Structure 1
Protein backbone atom coordinates (compact mmCIF):
# COMPACT_ATOMS: atom_id res chain seq x y z
CA UNK A 1 0.00 0.00 0.00
CA UNK A 2 1.37 3.37 -0.95
CA UNK A 3 2.30 6.05 1.51
CA UNK A 4 -0.17 8.54 0.08
CA UNK A 5 -3.00 6.03 0.18
CA UNK A 6 -2.28 5.19 3.82
CA UNK A 7 -2.20 8.88 4.74
CA UNK A 8 -5.53 9.42 2.96
CA UNK A 9 -7.01 6.44 4.78
CA UNK A 10 -5.91 7.76 8.18
CA UNK A 11 -7.12 11.30 7.46
CA UNK A 12 -10.48 10.01 6.24
CA UNK A 13 -10.87 7.99 9.42
CA UNK A 14 -10.07 11.07 11.54
CA UNK A 15 -12.81 13.08 9.88
CA UNK A 16 -15.26 10.21 9.37
CA UNK A 17 -15.78 10.68 5.64
CA UNK A 18 -15.34 7.21 4.24
CA UNK A 19 -17.57 4.80 2.37
CA UNK A 20 -17.81 1.36 3.91
CA UNK A 21 -16.66 -0.41 0.73
CA UNK A 22 -13.56 1.79 0.45
CA UNK A 23 -12.80 1.29 4.12
CA UNK A 24 -13.01 -2.49 3.84
CA UNK A 25 -10.89 -2.51 0.68
CA UNK A 26 -8.19 -0.45 2.38
CA UNK A 27 -8.21 -2.65 5.48
CA UNK A 28 -7.58 -5.69 3.30
CA UNK A 29 -4.41 -4.11 1.88
CA UNK A 30 -3.07 -2.08 4.79
CA UNK A 31 0.15 -2.78 6.67
CA UNK A 32 -1.12 -3.08 10.24
CA UNK A 33 2.37 -2.57 11.68
CA UNK A 34 2.79 0.91 10.16
CA UNK A 35 -0.79 2.10 10.58
CA UNK A 36 -0.56 3.19 14.26
CA UNK A 37 2.64 5.12 13.56
CA UNK A 38 1.00 7.01 10.70
CA UNK A 39 -2.08 7.72 12.81
CA UNK A 40 -0.05 9.10 15.73
CA UNK A 41 2.22 11.13 13.44
CA UNK A 42 -0.72 12.68 11.59
CA UNK A 43 -2.53 13.42 14.85
CA UNK A 44 0.57 15.23 16.13
CA UNK A 45 0.89 17.18 12.88
CA UNK A 46 -2.75 18.26 12.99
CA UNK A 47 -2.40 19.25 16.64
CA UNK A 48 0.75 21.25 15.98
CA UNK A 49 -0.91 22.93 13.03
CA UNK A 50 -3.84 24.00 15.20
CA UNK A 51 -1.57 25.21 18.03
CA UNK A 52 0.59 27.12 15.54
CA UNK A 53 -2.44 28.79 13.96
CA UNK A 54 -3.76 29.81 17.38
CA UNK A 55 -0.40 31.25 18.35
CA UNK A 56 -0.23 33.24 15.13
CA UNK A 57 -3.72 34.64 15.68
CA UNK A 58 -3.20 35.41 19.37
CA UNK A 59 0.23 36.98 18.87
CA UNK A 60 -1.14 39.14 16.07
CA UNK A 61 -3.99 40.49 18.16
CA UNK A 62 -2.34 40.69 21.59
CA UNK A 63 -0.41 43.89 20.88
CA UNK A 64 -3.52 45.75 19.74
CA UNK A 65 -5.42 45.16 23.00
CA UNK A 66 -3.13 47.39 25.05
CA UNK A 67 -2.72 45.07 28.01
Structure 2
Protein backbone atom coordinates (compact mmCIF):
# COMPACT_ATOMS: atom_id res chain seq x y z
CA UNK A 1 0.00 0.00 0.00
CA UNK A 2 2.91 2.33 0.69
CA UNK A 3 4.21 1.75 -2.84
CA UNK A 4 0.87 2.81 -4.30
CA UNK A 5 0.90 5.93 -2.12
CA UNK A 6 4.41 6.81 -3.34
CA UNK A 7 3.43 6.21 -6.97
CA UNK A 8 0.39 8.45 -6.56
CA UNK A 9 2.52 11.16 -4.97
CA UNK A 10 5.12 11.03 -7.75
CA UNK A 11 2.50 11.07 -10.51
CA UNK A 12 0.79 14.09 -8.94
CA UNK A 13 4.16 15.85 -8.74
CA UNK A 14 4.74 15.14 -12.46
CA UNK A 15 1.35 16.67 -13.23
CA UNK A 16 2.07 19.65 -10.97
CA UNK A 17 -1.38 20.31 -9.51
CA UNK A 18 -1.99 19.33 -5.91
CA UNK A 19 -3.60 20.70 -2.79
CA UNK A 20 -1.03 21.61 -0.15
CA UNK A 21 -2.86 19.67 2.57
CA UNK A 22 -2.72 16.46 0.53
CA UNK A 23 0.92 17.07 -0.32
CA UNK A 24 1.86 17.57 3.33
CA UNK A 25 -0.07 14.45 4.36
CA UNK A 26 1.83 12.39 1.78
CA UNK A 27 5.18 13.81 2.86
CA UNK A 28 4.46 12.83 6.45
CA UNK A 29 3.79 9.19 5.57
CA UNK A 30 6.29 8.38 2.80
CA UNK A 31 9.53 6.40 3.00
CA UNK A 32 12.12 8.76 1.51
CA UNK A 33 14.79 6.18 0.77
CA UNK A 34 12.58 4.47 -1.86
CA UNK A 35 11.07 7.64 -3.33
CA UNK A 36 13.87 8.40 -5.87
CA UNK A 37 13.71 4.85 -7.23
CA UNK A 38 9.94 5.05 -7.66
CA UNK A 39 10.24 8.45 -9.36
CA UNK A 40 12.92 7.26 -11.81
CA UNK A 41 10.97 4.07 -12.60
CA UNK A 42 7.75 6.00 -13.28
CA UNK A 43 9.60 8.56 -15.41
CA UNK A 44 11.15 5.73 -17.45
CA UNK A 45 7.76 4.07 -17.94
CA UNK A 46 6.13 7.33 -19.05
CA UNK A 47 9.04 7.99 -21.41
CA UNK A 48 8.80 4.48 -22.85
CA UNK A 49 5.06 4.92 -23.44
CA UNK A 50 5.61 8.24 -25.23
CA UNK A 51 8.40 6.71 -27.33
CA UNK A 52 6.18 3.75 -28.20
CA UNK A 53 3.36 6.02 -29.38
CA UNK A 54 5.78 8.12 -31.44
CA UNK A 55 7.30 5.04 -33.07
CA UNK A 56 3.86 3.61 -33.75
CA UNK A 57 2.69 6.82 -35.44
CA UNK A 58 5.95 7.29 -37.35
CA UNK A 59 5.90 3.71 -38.59
CA UNK A 60 2.30 3.92 -39.76
CA UNK A 61 2.91 7.15 -41.70
CA UNK A 62 6.11 5.86 -43.28
CA UNK A 63 4.23 3.64 -45.72
CA UNK A 64 1.75 6.31 -46.84
CA UNK A 65 1.71 7.05 -50.57
CA UNK A 66 2.13 10.55 -51.87
CA UNK A 67 4.34 12.68 -49.71
Tell me the TM-score normalised to structure 2 length.
0.91
- Deviation track 1:25-53 (CA, whole Å, cap 9, x = no partner) reads 10011100000000000000000100000
4+ residue runs over 6 A deviation:
none
TM-fit CA distance, 1:2: 1.6
Give the RMSD, CA atoms, in angstroms.
1.4
2-structure distance, mates of 1:11, 1:55: 24
2-structure distance, mates of 1:37, 1:6: 10
Tell me the TM-score normalised to structure 1 length.
0.91
Q: Which runs of 5+ in 2 are unaligned?
A: none
